[in-house]
Amino acid sequence: MRRQFQLLITSVLLILSLTTGCVMQQGLSLTEDQSGWATVDLSVYDFFSTILEDFAPFDEDMADTSVIEQSVDDFVVQLDNAPSTSEASAMKIKDNSYFIDFTFSSLNGILNDLANQNQQTLLTVKESKNSTRLEFYLDLDNYPQLTEIVPFLADENFETFGPLYNQGMNEADYLEMISYILGEEGPDAIRESVISLRLTAPDPIESYEGGILEDDTTIRFDIPLIDILLLAEPITFYAQW
């Protein structure tokens, strides 16, 4: 039972656990053939760590291991088992702070592996004769695809926090609900939470939308967490090189 809980937490740590004060930066470095290297810098505040430990089923065999640490270890095992990834490792920087990295043979392959080979439209890489374009698109219609990749989002204990359950709710009402459920620290944690994706392309970036160009080949896309939780409007960005 505890292991099932940890596998669910693994997914949400990397994408949506920011609801309770987690900082996450995802880095992707691509080569010409769409293989590359990925990194995750994850830092979870004490507030979130305490909530996880309070709700986790007790297991004597894992009493000395925190839920977060075990979840990171389980995620590395999942990466090792995925056909499109290799050389996955995690390093504990300090309490509740980790650095994860791995190589991948195909960016599309990672998502296909996580989605059990089901077709997805969230992230696409399109190649033409003279350029490559990476596009991200998320709305209420393809949100179920995200739940395929991140099964935690479909869990009955979490789905009430997600956009399908809260369609039409405005930000103020949503944050009031969070304050009632998680306490007065919850709303500020959500307001301050941003998921960052830093993409390094193999060639100079020619055009982009929804991001901040950091140098000729590197762009950063910042997504406020509240935008994902409500999906009042589609979340979309692209870069072309």
Amino acid at 82: A
The dihedral of CA 227, 156, 16, 116: what is its sign? Answer: negative
Q: What is the pTM of this model?
A: 0.76
Whether the per-residue pLDDT at 6 is higher than 50: the answer is no
C-alpha to C-alpha distance for 190 and 179, rounded to whole angstroms:
10
Q: What is the mean pLDDT of residues 135-149?
A: 87
Amino acid at 8: L
More confident residue, 72 or 138: 138
Which residues fall within 8 angstroms of residue 188, CB to CB, at 6 or more apart? none
C-alpha to C-alpha distance for 25 and 150, rounded to whole angstroms:
17
Q: Give 157-207 pLDDT, tens digit per residue.
A: 567 778 998 888 999 999 998 888 777 877 887 787 777 889 999 999 999
pLDDT tier, 72 (very low <50, low <70, confident <90, very high otherwise): confident
Q: Dihedrals φ, ψ of 125, to 5°?
A: -120, 120
> With contact defined as beta carbons under 8 Å apart, do 239 and 208 qualify?
yes
> With contact defined as beta carbons under 8 Å apart, do 225 and 195 qualify?
yes
CA distance readout (Å), 13 to 151, 152, 173: 12, 10, 24
82 alpha carbon, distance to own chain's centre: 17
Could you tell me the two tokens for 192?
Answer: 């301050």
Q: What is the mean pLDDT of residues 101-111?
A: 85
Whether the per-residue pLDDT at 115 is higher than 80: the answer is no
| E strand intervals along the chain | 22-30, 36-44, 85-94, 97-104, 123-127, 132-138, 194-200, 207-209, 212-215, 218-224, 235-240
C-alpha to C-alpha distance for 20 and 17, rounded to whole angstroms:
6
Helix, strand, coil % in the chain, rounded to nearest 5: 40, 30, 30
Rg (CA), the chain: 18
pLDDT tier, 16 (very low <50, low <70, confident <90, very high otherwise): very low
